[in-house]
Amino acid sequence: MHCLVRQTQRLSWWLPAAQIHTTAVQRTFWEREKKSGYKTKLAEPSKKQLIIDGLRDLKEEIKLWRQEVKEKLESDPILVFRPGETDIVFDFKAPDVLDKWTVTTDADHGEGKSSATLELSASGAGLFHGEVNSQHTKDGIIKRTGYANIRTKRVRKSFKRESTYDWTQYNMLVMKVRGDGRSYLINLHTEGYFDLMWNDIYHYVLYTRGGPHWQIAKIPFSKFFLSSKGRVQDRQNAIHLDCVTHFGFSVAAKKGMDGPFGLEIDYVGLEYDPSHQEEFAYEMYKTPKYIVAT
């Protein structure tokens, strides 16, 4: 509910700003569906299979609902604020952890020749590796390509209810990683209710050193900046940490950086640092309301 209210407030700056015909607004902002045309056609299962899958899922959903009730009863807000301690959000210790992540490349949509996979490394961490290739399909439409991406699946509650992560008690993102010297993009998705906000992502760069040693990256949430469909937005705001829907990493073949890549992830965690008082790192300018764009 809090996310929906904030999204409505964000929309309100342009809704009354200009008298524009409804069809013009739809052509400018309206989206048919969340994938923007990038859909994979799957064979529809039989009715018998749907019933079997439904009964199997029912057991898992009831188990998940019991876990939710247990966590609700046992939660203690006094134990939340522990300065200096890192609470692990994502790691690769569970046997089914890889099923909670999705890997995509430009080749999945017939736009390029990059490849990537996510698997467990010899040290028990998650290894995101592959090869990025900037050679794109010669169809007269695609201009640039060469990327690979991983992200978590949509967080949800029991009985298929979509939810969001609530990280409002923290102000730092902490990661233990081992890279290859490349720069990776950290992605915090805040997928909104309205179509204008389906592609809202907050980014920050993860610089890796390369070599055999692990590094601890500690990044304030105040440093993350907003983009939509790959474009950094003029109208910026601090990330709402109770509206995060997905977490992920991206790598691209920019400036001739084609070739293999590898990022090993031990864990991703959160921390509350009382010495960090910054709310938002970027200076903002007031946009006239008659400009109906970002």
pLDDT beyond 90 at 161: no
pLDDT of residue 24: 39
Between CA 132 and CA 230, with CA 247 as vertex, the angle to 5 degrees is 55
pLDDT of residue 52: 82
> Mind spelling out the 3-state secondary structure of 7-31?
HHHHHCCCCCCCCCCHHHHHHHHCC
d(CA 248, CA 251): 11
More confident residue, 171 or 290: 171
pLDDT of residue 217: 96
Q: Print burial letters for 56-66: b (CB count within 10 Å at least 16), e (below 16).
A: eeeeebeeeee
pLDDT of residue 114: 94
178 burial via Cβ count (<10 Å: 0-12, 13-18, 19+) = buried
pLDDT of residue 292: 52
pLDDT beyond 80 at 92: yes
Average model confidence (pLDDT) across the chain: 83
Residue 261 phi, psi (nearest 5):
-145, 160
Task: Find where tokens 């609902």 sit.
Answer: 65
More confident residue, 194 or 132: 132
Mean pLDDT of 245-272: 93
- Give the H or E element holding residue 246: strand 246-252
pLDDT of residue 13: 46
pLDDT in tens, 11-40: 554 444 433 343 334 445 566 666 666 666
**Sign of the dihedral through C-alpha 281, 282, 288, 290:** negative
Residue 26 phi, psi (nearest 5):
-65, -40
pLDDT beyond 50 at 275: yes
pLDDT of residue 243: 92
Closest Cα partner for 251 from 239, 260, 241?
A: 260
User: 200-207 and 215-220: which strand pairing?
Assistant: unpaired
pLDDT in tens, 224-253: 999 998 889 888 899 999 999 999 999 998
Q: Print burial letters for 124-133: b (CB count within 10 Å at least 16), e (below 16).
A: ebbbbbbbbb
149 burial via Cβ count (<10 Å: 0-12, 13-18, 19+) = buried
pLDDT of residue 155: 85
d(CA 206, CA 179): 10
pLDDT beyond 80 at 113: yes
Q: Where are the alpha helices (DSSP H) in the chain?
A: 2-11, 22-29, 47-74
Residue 205 phi, psi (nearest 5):
-90, 135
